Amino acid sequence: MTQTSSVTPAPFIFDVQAREVRARAGVFHTPHGDIPTPVFAPVGTQATVKAVTPAQLNELGVDLILSNTYHLYLRPGDELVAKLGGLHRFMNWDRPILTDSGGFQVFSLTGIRKIDEDGVTFKSHIDGSMHRFTPEKSIAVQENLGADIIMAFDECAMPHDREYSQRAMVRTHAWAERCLHAKARSDQALFGIVQGGVFPDLRKQSAEFITSLGLPGYAIGGLSVGETKADMHAALEVVDGILPEDKPRYLMGVGTPEDLVNGVLRGIDIFDCVLPTRLARHNAVMTRSMGRLNLVNAVYAEDPQPIDGACTCYTCQHYARGYLRHLIIAKEMLAATLLSIHNIHTLVQLAGDMRQAILEERFCAFAADCLVNSKQGSK
């Protein structure tokens, strides 16, 4: 079993090592090790990054993973996870973990959830049983899970509905304060979440309130939920001036290679997304210079080339597209594993390359190259 008991709680300090325009290279210290930033975190919804072992994640250089409070609360239950040693030991991942608050999933249960000022009552998508999340409950569940970074319970509104965005923002602020009061463990960093939809004045107001709480890190929520890229970038630019320079900034649920570059250009340090593993299960791979390929396409049947000749992942080092397509057509589970490895590598490597470019003061050129390449690739 993984040893976690002897780890000394770290103070969640964020060391910024280099800056270039708004981009930053830093290190966030956690009880389960340092997270060099910019960083991309693959998602392990149900205490497993789908189809990939922790040993493979280690080989991929993954420094942080995200797991979902809503899913683990329902199944197997946060108390069971606590009984079996907490999430790190349960899933055999002894490096940093971030859990979301459950808010995003609960608010997505349109039609089977009811919001009030105190919290949300909802129906389980698994068995229809009734449950209730409040800020206090979300923190209690996240304390049972034991991630290094935990998130305040927030309400993610439809991004273009101003009235709702404002109401949800006000509630998110009140709930963030309650989360801070409810928090009991000292070995977890509580991050606050900025909401406000696509409305710059609301985003500004939200960033000002949330940063006033003096938390060890801040997230930007309610993006990558249907708004335009321009709206996303505008929201990032508004909050960039308000979020403190010495705290990590986390853009939730993002994204694609281009999104990562655009985020770092606007001061973001941490990203997470289900995209690499979800695409893999739909036979699609992301590349930095050719855009997205779907390997089920018959054109790849006899193709001896790797997915991406420039890629250094296990899959690209060892397998032809023709073989990967065969696995897909034959419905072999190994397809999801090999494609997930490639897709995770693409984003983890991109984050690492951006970090290196910032440290070497050549990030602007690097970012420009990436964005030009990705445009050409998606043509």
332 contacts a second copy (rule: CB under 8 A): yes
330 contacts a second copy (rule: CB under 8 A): yes
Task: Choose the catalytic residue: 78, 154, 269, 272.
Answer: 272
* DSSP class per residue in 158-186: -TT-HHHHHHHHHHHHHHHHHHHHH---S
What are 310's two structure tokens? 């420039």
Dist. CA 38–CA 285, nearest whole Å: 22
Dist. CA 308–CA 321, nearest whole Å: 9
Angle in degrees, 0-180, between the axes of helices 257-265 and 334-359, rounded to the nearest 10 = 20
66 contacts a second copy (rule: CB under 8 A): no
Of 176-184, 202-210, 332-340, 350-358, the window that binds a second copy (rule: CB under 8 A) is 332-340
Q: What is the residue type of 160?
A: H
302 contacts a second copy (rule: CB under 8 A): yes
329 contacts a second copy (rule: CB under 8 A): yes
Judge contact between 33 and 46, C-beta under 8 A. no
Q: How many CA atoms lie within 13 A of 149 on its CB side?
A: 33
Please report how close the Cβ of residue 188 comes to a second copy at its closest, in angstroms: 21
Subset of 22-51 contacting a second copy (CB under 8 A): 46-48, 50-51
Please report how close the Cβ of residue 56 comes to a second copy at its closest, in angstroms: 8
Dist. CA 375–CA 232, nearest whole Å: 18
314 contacts a second copy (rule: CB under 8 A): yes
301 contacts a second copy (rule: CB under 8 A): yes
Largest CA distance in the chain: 60
85 contacts a second copy (rule: CB under 8 A): yes
Q: How many helices (H) and strands (E) does the chain have?
A: 15, 16
Please report how close the Cβ of residue 13 comes to a second copy at its closest, in angstroms: 30
Q: Return the sign of the alpha-carbon dihedral for residues 57, 63, 66, 67.
A: positive
Dist. CA 144–CA 140, nearest whole Å: 6
- Asked if 100 is an active-site residue, the reply is yes
Dist. CA 220–CA 235, nearest whole Å: 9
- Asked if 63 is an active-site residue, the reply is no
Subset of 156-185 contacting a second copy (CB under 8 A): none
299 contacts a second copy (rule: CB under 8 A): no
124 contacts a second copy (rule: CB under 8 A): no
Please report how close the Cβ of residue 192 comes to a second copy at its closest, in angstroms: 30
83 contacts a second copy (rule: CB under 8 A): yes
Contact residue for a second copy among 76, 200, 352, 377 (CB under 8 A):
76
84 contacts a second copy (rule: CB under 8 A): yes
333 contacts a second copy (rule: CB under 8 A): yes
To which H or E segment does residue 35 belong?
Answer: strand 33-37
Name the residues annotated as catalytic. 100, 272
* Residues found near a second copy in the complex (CB under 8 A): 1-2, 46-48, 50-56, 75-76, 80, 83-85, 90-92, 301-302, 304, 314, 317-320, 322-323, 325-327, 329-330, 332-334, 336-338
